[in-house]
Amino acid sequence: MEELGYYSDQARSDVRVDTAIAAAEYEQRAVNSHHAATLVAIHSVLDEARYCPEVFVGNHASRFSREDVEFAERAAIADLAVRLALSENTVRSHESQAVTMIGRTPITWQKFRWGDVSPANARIVAEVAASLPEDSSMFAEFDTVVADRACQLAPARFRAFARKLREQIVADTAAERHESEASLRRVIFEPDLDGMAWISAYLPAEVATAAMTLVDAEALRLWAVPGETRTMPQLRADVFGDMITGAGGGSVAVRVGVLIPMLTLLGQSEAPASLEGYGPIDAETARKLAGDATSIYRILTDPVTGAILDIDQPTKHIPEGLRRMRQLIDQTCTFPGCGKRAMNCDLDHTIDRQFGGQTTLMNLSHLCRKHHRDKHMTKWMLTQDDTGRIEWTSPTGYVTAPDPPPF
Ligand SMILES: [Zn+2]
């Protein structure tokens, strides 16, 4: 009897495996198809914002200008971002993915809608299709070949295939491609762990090469100095840092803000401090920075919630001091999800002075140029209570707070 039970159970295990595999396939297709549907829904909201801007910017004109439409679109993107807990960039790229696929790769798009293409592969299709020159015959050629492979290959293999296909289709346009890429040059700052951070720059090859040659030459010169113990990579990093900050030459005055717990400052605790625009740094480094500080403000915070309880203002009615304090409190633009550093933002009166708003800490907040304009031009609304706490209400009524501060 026991043996029979064993065999019959084994027989059923085959069925269970088959069932589970079928379930995985079914659910995966559902996820694929739902992802495509999400992109469509996002596209619909933004289309609506463009055709009926009054939902997002208020009914202040009988004819909407092009600028109104842009503000409505931006307000709608921000609205979706807070509701879906996505970054504005993600919302934007979801929409452009839908637009690109519908317009340039309709066959692959349809397969994505049916659930045959994974979100990862669909993203690759959109990326590569977006990089094709404006030429409908190229779009068609790409779409026809890529559609089937998008259903079969795993993302890494598929990406390689799609890129190779693109290179075959786009021949002899290297110069134009370089020109359009060159317009995307930029510097990227990324905080890393253990008090370190990355600065990288996307540059035309000749500029990057010239810069590295300069760094190399100076590093090599220092390396040859008797007694120098640093390695070449360390020397390159130090030379690069010195050049950017003008250290040694001392051409630019740079100011960084540090938030230090009082006990850490007094050396009675090793609780980490927070470097403005970066995040937590170790107590020792913070104390060293504070030693060089030219001004110190005392900010008393609630140890549990991090809410600001009191601020010791060293000098009254000096906007510079206020500006500095608010900068330390906000750290970044106060719009939810925006990481623009406060020092590069506008300091905005929450209630405008012309409506009786005062120049106090509790009526000021940092807004990057983009979100500052959004606050004035769209139905996004910022309110601040008498502790200075900020709340945002989206044009469609979603209420949210700024991202929590790091302290
Ligand atoms: Zn912002």
pLDDT along the chain (407 residues), means of 10: 54 86 95 97 96 84 80 95 94 96 97 97 97 89 95 93 88 68 85 87 83 87 90 91 71 62 76 76 78 65 64 49 83 88 86 77 87 88 85 91 67
Interval between CA 342 and ligand 1 midpoint (Å):
9
pTM recorded for the entire structure: 0.60
Q: State whether 292 and 303 are in the same domain.
A: no
Q: State whether 217 and 202 are in the same domain.
A: yes
Interval between CA 227 and ligand 1 midpoint (Å):
48
Q: Is beta strand 258-259 parallel, antiparallel or unpaired with respect to 273-275?
A: antiparallel
Give me the number of domains the chain comprises.
4
Rounded to whole angstroms, the Cα distance separating 380 from 376 reads 8
User: What element of type H or E holds 280?
Assistant: strand 279-281
Give the start-end residues of each E strand in 124-254.
Answer: 186-191, 197-202
141 by DSSP, 3-state: which? helix
Q: State whether 169 and 117 are in the same domain.
A: yes
Q: Which domain holds residue 94?
A: 2-179
Rounded to whole angstroms, the Cα distance separating 392 from 399 reads 6
Boundary residue ending a domain (179, 201, 227): 179
Interval between CA 373 and ligand 1 midpoint (Å):
10
pLDDT at site 46:
96
Interval between CA 321 and ligand 1 midpoint (Å):
22
Interval between CA 185 and ligand 1 midpoint (Å):
21
Residue 162 within any structural domain of the chain:
yes
Interval between CA 391 and ligand 1 midpoint (Å):
14
Give the start-end residues of each E strand in 12-67.
Answer: none
pLDDT at site 405:
60
pLDDT at site 1:
45
- How is residue 284 written in tokens? 């020792």
Rounded to whole angstroms, the Cα distance separating 277 from 255 reads 12
Interval between CA 365 and ligand 1 midpoint (Å):
11
Instruction: Determine contact, residues 52/64, Cβ cutoff 8 Å.
Output: no
User: What element of type H or E holds 382?
Assistant: strand 381-384
Ligand 1 is a single-atom ion; what residues have CB below 5 A from it?
333, 335, 338, 340, 368, 371
Q: State whether 204 and 272 are in the same domain.
A: no
Boundary residue ending a domain (149, 179, 209): 179
Q: State whether 262 and 139 are in the same domain.
A: no
Rounded to whole angstroms, the Cα distance separating 155 from 62 reads 49
Interval between CA 377 and ligand 1 midpoint (Å):
14
Rounded to whole angstroms, the Cα distance separating 295 from 19 reads 68
Instruction: Determine contact, residues 382/368, Cβ cutoff 8 Å.
Output: no
Interval between CA 341 and ligand 1 midpoint (Å):
9
Q: State whether 305 and 401 are in the same domain.
A: yes
Relative orientation angle of helices 205-223 and 232-245, to the nearest 10 degrees = 110
Rounded to whole angstroms, the Cα distance separating 252 from 356 reads 38
pLDDT at site 337:
85
Largest CA distance in the chain: 92
Interval between CA 79 and ligand 1 midpoint (Å):
14
Residue 338 within any structural domain of the chain:
yes
Q: State whether 292 and 308 are in the same domain.
A: no
